[in-house]
Amino acid sequence: MMRIDLERLRTLLADEPFIRRIELTEETPSTNLLAKELARQGAQSGTLVIAQKQTAGRGRRGRSWESGEGTSLAMSILLRPGFSAEKASRITQAAALGMCRTLRHFGADAKIKWPNDILVNGRKLVGILSEFGMEGEKLSYIVCGIGVNVGQRCFSGELSEIAGSLYTETGVLVPREAVAAHAVKALAPLFCACEEDAAYKKLLSDYRQNCLTLGQSVKVIGTDAVRYGTAVDTDEEGRLLLRQEDGSLFTVHAGDVSIRPVSNGAV
């Protein structure tokens, strides 16, 4: 796949006031790390960091995110929201919804697996990692990192069973700057909606409609225990509500959620 064309990206985003600055780097361990450094240097909200090559991308819970050279999109957006740290998870849900809509724009039947994996035909195409920094007790910034499998034709090892790309799922090779630009335009109004409770409530309603986890029998691996039950809903801040097998309702703040296969009743 061709290199990301910075001038083409600037042209595609020329009418998007949300983005104030674009930093295209040749190579970086992680666009999130670079964006956080820029945040500490005083960079303004709406700074977009994007890499030709990312060498040490990270996912949730310390996992690595594999970025194919020339075929993956690695970008991070710096935000300086006006809400408290307790509401920081709103950005992750906004990002999941925005990336779900972006993949659909390019022809992929995308769904959200709670909280922020984007799947197409059961394969993961997008990873999202949001991190924040504090200034005393005040939320100083949020960096929303997004990795998209765009042009990979195949995956090796265990990834061959669980990962996909826009190309493998649609047969269309899309330029990475086109995916980045559409993603930013989809994300901008959703990030803004996180600032107001009423707008966020509508965002969360749309998130629920696109979340394939809800209504499913699931296994949740948390920090303290493994739980089983049915994912019945989310609460008002997007946390998963799990109806456990004993009938009690448990709120999942974080954890690995897998959908359990439905038994066919065979012995």
DSSP secondary structure string for all residues of 187-246: HHHHHHHTTSHHHHHHHHHHHHHTBTTTTSEEEEE-SS-EEEEEEEEE-TTSPEEEEETT
Q: CATH 3.30.930.10 occupies which residues in the chain? A: 6-209
Ramachandran assignment for 194, one of left (phi > 0), alpha (psi -120 to 50 degrees), beta (any other): alpha
Q: CATH 2.30.30.100 occupies which residues in the chain? A: 217-259
Max intra-chain CA distance, the chain: 63
Q: How confident is the model at residue 47 (pLDDT cuts 50, 70, 90)?
A: very high
Average pLDDT over residues 171-192: 97
Position with higher pLDDT, 56 vs 151? 151
Position with higher pLDDT, 1 vs 218? 218
Spatial separation of the C-alpha atoms in residues 74 and 217, rounded to whole Å: 32
**Which of the following CATH numbers is that of domain 6-209: 3.40.190.10, 3.30.1390.10, 3.40.50.1110, 3.30.930.10?**
3.30.930.10
Q: pTM of whole model > 0.95?
A: no
Which two structure tokens, joined as six digits, stand for 14?
Answer: 């020329």
Spatial separation of the C-alpha atoms in residues 146 and 137, rounded to whole Å: 27
Q: Is the pLDDT of residue 267 over 50?
A: no
pLDDT digits (tens, 9 = 90+) for 192-228: 999 999 999 999 999 999 999 999 999 999 888 999 9
Q: Is the pLDDT of residue 44 over 80?
A: yes
Q: What pLDDT was estimated at residue 120?
A: 97
CATH architecture under which domain 217-259 falls: Roll (2.30)
Mean pLDDT (the chain) is 92
Q: In this predicted structure, which of 26-40, 46-60, 104-118 has the lowest mean pLDDT?
A: 46-60
What pairs with residue 25 in β-bridges?
51
Return the exposure string of 205-233: e unless at least 16 CB atoms fall within 10 Å of the residue's CB, then b.
Answer: ebbbebbbbbebebebeeeeeebebbbee
Q: Is the pLDDT of residue 139 over 80?
A: yes
Q: How confident is the model at residue 67 (pLDDT cuts 50, 70, 90)?
A: low
Q: What percentage of residues in the chain have a pLDDT greater than 70? A: 93
Read off φ and ψ for residue 74, nearest 5 degrees: -120, 120
Q: What pLDDT was estimated at residue 260?
A: 84
